[in-house]
Amino acid sequence: MLISYGVSLLSLLYFVVCGDANDARFAKYSFNRWELLEYRSQVKELFYFAHDNYLTKGYPFDEVRPLSCVPKGRNFDDIGDTITNDVLGNFSATLIDSLTTIAIFNDKQKFQDMIELVRDSFPRKFDLDSTIQVFETTIRIVGGLISSHLYASDPSKSVYLGSEYDGFLLDLARDMADRLLPAYLTTTGLPLPRINLRYGLRSLTADLVAENNVAAMAGPMFEFTILSYLTGDEKYAAVTRYAMNKTWSLRSELDLLPMSFNPKTGQCYSHFTGIGASIDSFYEYALKGAILFDDASLYEIWRDSYTALVSNCKADWFYVNAQSSTGQLSAPWIDSLGAFFPGLQVLAGDVEDAVFKNMMSLKLWNTFGGLPERWQFRSAATLQPAAESPQASKDFAAEHQRLNVPLEWYPLRPEFIESTYFLYRATKDPFYLNIGVEVLESFRTRFKFACGFGGIQDVITGEVQDRMETFVLSETLKYLYLLFDEDNELHHTRDNMIFSTEAHPMWLKRDVIKKYSQKKRFDDQLYLRHIELRHAEDARIAARRAKGFFGRKRLAGLAKSFFTEELRAADINASQEAQPNQPPTCPRATTETYPWSYSATLSYFDRLFEIDYIYNDTLIRPAPMAARGSIEIRKGFYDRWADSRRSFCRLPPTTDSFELILDVPGRSSPVRLANGSIKCKSLSGRWKFRGEKLQPGKTDVYGNRITTSPFQVADCRNVFRPNDRSDPRTPILLYRLTAVNGVALPRGATVVFDRQHVLRNPEHSRTLYDLFGCNPQNQLMLDSTPVVNLYLS
């Protein structure tokens, strides 16, 4: 694929030769240097529009309301208003959280002015009577201050302030961290969710501290560990890293973490798991901490947790919410926070799957004009219209739509554009620039109001939201700016730079790492004693739980869960029946395309419109979006970047899907061959197979029509069509595996277990023949029907 810096040069050549009637520098969707610079400039202008309004109409409060142009601060009258008070601590949150975006602009003077404003704003530091959430305050305030300090004190950065900066931002970060750290002084070492910045844990009611989620218990480890490196004080890293490890120890035998716990007792509150709200930052900081701190044990946590997610929660287009102890589907919805995960997958090197997962976010944006906080992938409508009148049908349709979006707001969250940015950096596919253009246009038109940017309060009605949370300036517009800024110093630095979960760039210089390793100290006896007590307690109860899933002897067994009509939409390969003679859904370019480069996703991804087909009963465009087209086929973009000679769509599958879960004691080490096939000696371990029923007339998951001819093969001669004496060698049904432990099998791939090894193990052989059976062609069988690519050989 010829997509990289060369695109700019080739686009320049085109416009030198062909010209453009409106602008000699570029035409829209050329994505040459000048077009990207123009978009970058527009994002910067939008940021300063909102930032200036905050300074004049919101500061010193935490936010400014974009429609009513008045400040928004914490609710001092109701301490129980946690939705407001968790993130608004009366500490000028927008001012602090947006500092690093100005730094990324390389606007040194503005950066210095805002740092001085922060200095003037906190003469007594954070001595505030505010009960806030520990995690949100960590990522927005502590993280914002640390990252800004790194920018101000690093001579290699454009906004380096030299002798004009005395390091007070780091002092402020430390002051805030010291006020948050007492939340960790529990008998479990897990932090309480909230604390008062002035009075600590005094006067906090039980309901404010009874439950904490996994992201909040584990996440602060990242910022607090950086703080330890920069101050030399080990207590911040030690206390929060213990909490991270403790949180991971609460996982189920499947290596899946429940969503939330009582931090005082360790009792589980919410047993389901996923990648979205309440757990997202756990995965993010396991991987990012492993990279930034060069920490092998954190990487093991990431590797094992990601493997568990892939095995138990992965569908083609998203990760489902599953029961943590069984891996079974527990909730037929996904939430918008999960849109961050493709960006994390890019960081982990799993770009291929990231493309699939980001595509789901694109389709949600196409449908609703943003990502609703929660969307159901399985239709929730169970009502029928009361009458046949047009109004009754209209009301029924509206109710159907409403049920599919149980949480209907979109507060301009950054996760979709964040993942889009990372995918563009990894692939340089203009497909992702096109998404950025759409998001930018929405900020210029739909989301822009008198004093800032307001989200969508209700994606069904189009009602706007009179709020601009700090992440809009800290994250959403930052990632959008970086998407168009090829020259940004972050893209060319040699620093081991990592974005925090609040999009604050973090890095540690070699001299800082060396100094910390040699001179770190632990002077605070309170926290030193706390850590010693926690480790001593852990040693006494270490035998309570074997580490990992296979540490205990498990009962051999096979769970077969054929999808019912109710559950089929949970799996992308369980499609609705295709309409007779239905034409391909991929559009074709109608004008000449430019031969030197194409968008790989637009041109060669043959499942580009599969989501639209599979989920057409829940991806229903509301009235405000009815006239808007899909981003990926905007005419100017499609005509320029689609390879009309090769772009085509795979036929949607119509076969029925099923799952097989096999649990056998022990571990095994499957080997994946170059063609995608899997070989394994032993049946040991937990195997989650996804398969399909092959029947003539159906379309399989690879987009191929199934005729009778594939069934007339020697491998299937032991399966007979009932009551059909004319052709006894033609079966009516076969099975085929399509994925193993969450990883898709290419067409033609096989799964092979070692016959001799299995037969030497009496338990394995008994399991095999009791639950499967095997035909003379060495194919394993279900209900006397061969699984055509599952062998014992």
Q: Where are the alpha helices (DSSP H) in 59-196?
A: 82-85, 93-97, 99-104, 108-121, 134-137, 143-153, 168-180
Q: How far apart are CA 76 and CA 534, in angstroms?
A: 36
CA-wise closest residue to 650 among 540, 756, 573: 573
Q: How far apart are CA 75 and CA 82, in angstroms?
A: 9
Catalytic residue among 335, 415, 429, 700: 415
SS3 238: helix
Q: How far apart are CA 252 and CA 595, in angstroms?
A: 53
Catalytic residue among 373, 408, 485, 502: 373
Q: How far apart are CA 302 and CA 281, in angstroms?
A: 11
Q: From residue 578, give the alpha-carbon distance in Å to each of 608, 615, 617.
A: 17, 13, 14
Active site residue 469: no
Active site residue 223: no
Residue 781 near residue 792 (C-beta atoms within 8 A): no
- Flag whether 501 is marked binding: yes
CA 620 centroid distance within chain: 23
Amino acid identity for residue 214 in this structure: V
Residue 622 is classified by DSSP as: -
Element (H, E) at 685: strand 685-694
Sign, Cα dihedral of 463, 464, 466, 469: positive
Q: How far apart are CA 543 and CA 530, in angstroms?
A: 22
Q: Which residues contact 94 (CB under 8 A, 6 or more apart)?
A: 51, 54, 58, 59, 62, 63, 64, 468, 470, 473
Active site residue 415: yes
Amino acid identity for residue 186 in this structure: T
Cα-only R_g, the chain = 28
Catalytic residue among 86, 223, 280, 656: 280
Catalytic residue among 136, 175, 475, 656: 136
Q: Which two tokens stand for residue 710?
A: 């594939």
Sign, Cα dihedral of 451, 453, 457, 458: positive
Q: Which residues contact 710 (CB under 8 A, 6 or more apart)?
A: 694
Residue 309 near residue 275 (C-beta atoms within 8 A): yes
> What totals of helices (H) and strands (E) does the chain contain, helices first?
29, 28
CA 675 centroid distance within chain: 29
Count CA atoms within 13 Å of residue 415 on its CB side.
30
CA angle (185 as vertex; 179, 187 as ends), nearest 5: 165
In sequence order, what DSSP letters do the residues of 541-588 get, joined into one string?
A: TGGGS-SSGGGS----EEEEEEPPTTTGGGSTTSPPPPPTTPPP----
Q: Which residues are annotated as a binding site?
A: 501
Q: Which residues are annotated as a binding site for Ca(2+)?
A: 501
Q: Which residues does the annotation mark as catalytic?
A: 136, 280, 373, 415
